[in-house]
Structures are given as C-alpha cells and as structure tokens.
Amino acid sequence: MPTSVEILEKLIAFDTVSRTPNRSLIDYVRGLLDQAGIESILVEDDAGHCANLYATVGGSDSGGVMLSGHTDVVPVTGQAWTVDPFKMTQRDGKLYGRGTTDMKGFVACAIRAAIDAANRPLATPLHLALSYDEEIGCVGVRRLLDMLDAAPVKPAMCIVGEPTELVVANGHKGKTAARAICTGLSVHSALAPTGVNAIQIGAAFIEMLRRVQEEIAASAAKDDAYDIPYTTVHAGIIAGGTALNIVPNECRIDFEIRNIQSDDPAAILRRIEEEAQTIAQNFGEGAGISIDVVNSYPGLDTPLDADIIRFVQSLTGANSTTKIAFGTEGGLFSNRLGIPTVVCGPGSMAQGHKPDEFITVDQMAKCDRMLNALVERLAA
C-alpha cells in the first residue's frame, strides 16, 4: 500500500487548477481504489471533463463517516515560485507544491485510510467524497449532493479535511458572490457633463458598500469565535471603460458578502440593492445599477455539544474547537442533507494560495494517525 506522502506526490503532479479537467487525477485515484477492491462512483459534469468520486468501504446499509475533500487547486500564474508547483519537493521536513495544504494533503491521507479500511471487517462504513471546482464556489460538489440526496442511506457524519492544523472547526461563514452592472450614457469626453459616467456610478456604489461594512462592524451581531467576528462586505473586481476620450457607459463590480450564522445575507443584499437604486436615481436619466448573484453557499455552525465534535476530538486527542474564515462544502452537507459536519485537516491555510505552498511531514503523519484511529473505531 502506498504511503500518504507517496500518494500526495502523485496528486500534486496533476495540474487541476479550477475550471480545468480533473479526470486524470480521478482516474488515478479510482485505479488505486480498484486495486484495493473498492468500488467507486463518478458524478461527472456535462462534458465529462470533471468528475466527483464517491466510494464506500464496508456495508452501505448504515450511515458511517464521510471524508470529504476537493481535488482542484488555485492558479499559480503570477506567483514567484522557487520550486516546480506541480512537482512535489521535500526539504527540511516540508512538502512543497500547489495543493499540498489546500487540500491534496488531506485527500492523500483519506485515500490511504480508505485502502487500509478495505482490509478490515468494518462494522460501520467509511465513505470517500472527492469533488471538483470547490475553489470557485463549491461548484462540482452540488452534483454529488444531488446523488446523496436521493440515496436511501446517507452518511451519519462528515469530516471536511480543509487545513485547520487538525483542530476541530465547527463553523465557517457563508458566502454570497454578486456582480453589479452600473450603466450610464456614453458621449465624447469633451462633452462629459452631458453624459452619464458609469465608472462614477460604480465609485458611488463601492463607497456605499464601504459604508454598509462600517455599519455592520459597528452595530451588527458578532461571533467572537472568528478572527473577524462580524459579517464582511468586500468589493474585489472592478472593470469599466474602453477609451479615455469616451465617457463609459458600463462599469462592472464583483463583490461578496461573507456572513456569520446570525446574519441573513439575503437581507443584506436587499439593502444593497435598495441603496443602489437610490444611487442610480441621484445620477439622473440614463443611469442604472443591476445586481445578480453569481454564486452562494451556506455557512456551517455545528453546535458545540453535537456528537460529531466529541467524536472527532477523540480521534485527534485535542479538546479545542475553532471557526475558520474560509468557506467549505461543509455548509452544504449540513444545511441541505442534514449531515452533522466538522472541518478538520492537516496543514494551515496560512500556506494556502501562496507561492511555495507547503505542508509539513509532521502534519501529514498526524493526519494519518487521526484517520488510523477512525478506521479502528469503525472496525470496532
């Protein structure tokens, strides 16, 4: 049986940047599972270029524990890597490569654990769920959710292996990604006052987002388990105009809401929409702002007294919990399917999405021990 580090080395070699095919990686994983006698199901995208993989070890007539991870990674373009990002480099107790921490390290450990479990007479099943295009809004896993939603028996618990340094995370914020299209009226820039400048409308829109954020930070609900304890509103992309001597008639702004559990993102979005209409009216005839939601996923807020918290803590040997700033598919498993879920995986997101991303050999070993303990419990 290959070690988790050996599996990780293979996984890193597959360039699975989001929106690109992941089938080569999935075929590799499926081959490993086949050799261990583990059947797997593929849930593909429409073109068949990307696929989720779902496999069960042990009987499927009882819930069991699901290990969930994504196979896509963020781009390396524009980053100053000192090693080949798609070839694992081991140095000074660290394993370098794109996705080592986020989150092929956990995926490698989970595959190894599934292969190990196939040699045991499990009393409770172990499920492996690998998804695609998580980094762009948990896109691929939604097809897997459709399959599980129709299944007669669902997993009783889910561990999402995003990097938490193996601390049990019981929550993360939800996310709503939206695009505002600010429209104006083009004229020659020499006659600028007779037109309506869409970039100026966009600037007013961004200023309004900043004001909404300040009000939320000052007076809205807070959850001190987060580093940023309140809901955040953030504009990340702006584009508009075609030439300096043309008053622009369109400006596009991509923005997001990352909400704590007690805040309703739909209500915040409605307020933004209302404020946007006021802005457009203030610019007069020819001005407009339309807003469309591009993607969203719910937050995760598993109660601290839930059985899964104590169960996973018993596997790691630690009693602490945390909440993480970034999102995962965990909120979808919990909210849509009612599967109690926590996030717990090796590595730190402090290394994720950066050049020379790495995970330590020690963290990989600790994750192996946690999943070894899980297999022992499922066999008991």
Which one of the listed residues 72, 102, 133, 357 is annotated catalytic? 72
Strands (E), the chain: 40-44, 51-57, 65-70, 89-91, 94-96, 126-131, 157-160, 168-172, 174-183, 232-240, 250-259, 288-297, 300-301, 321-324, 341-343, 358-360
Neighbours of 247 (CB within 10 A): 23
- Decide: 269 and 231 in contact? Cβ < 8 Å: no
372-377 contact pairs (CB < 8 A, 24+): 372/113, 372/116, 373/314, 373/315, 374/65, 374/113, 374/126, 374/315, 375/113, 375/116, 375/117, 375/120, 375/122, 375/126, 377/124, 377/315
Specify whether 72 is catalytic: yes
Question: What does the DSSP assignment read for 97-152?
Answer: STTIIIIIHHHHHHHHHHHHHTTS--SS-EEEEEES--TTTS-THHHHHHHHHHSS
Quick check: helix, strand or coil at residue 350? coil
Which one of the listed residues 134, 162, 329, 368 is annotated catalytic? 134
CA–CA distance, 39 with 60 (Å, rounded to integer): 12
Catalytic residues: 72, 134
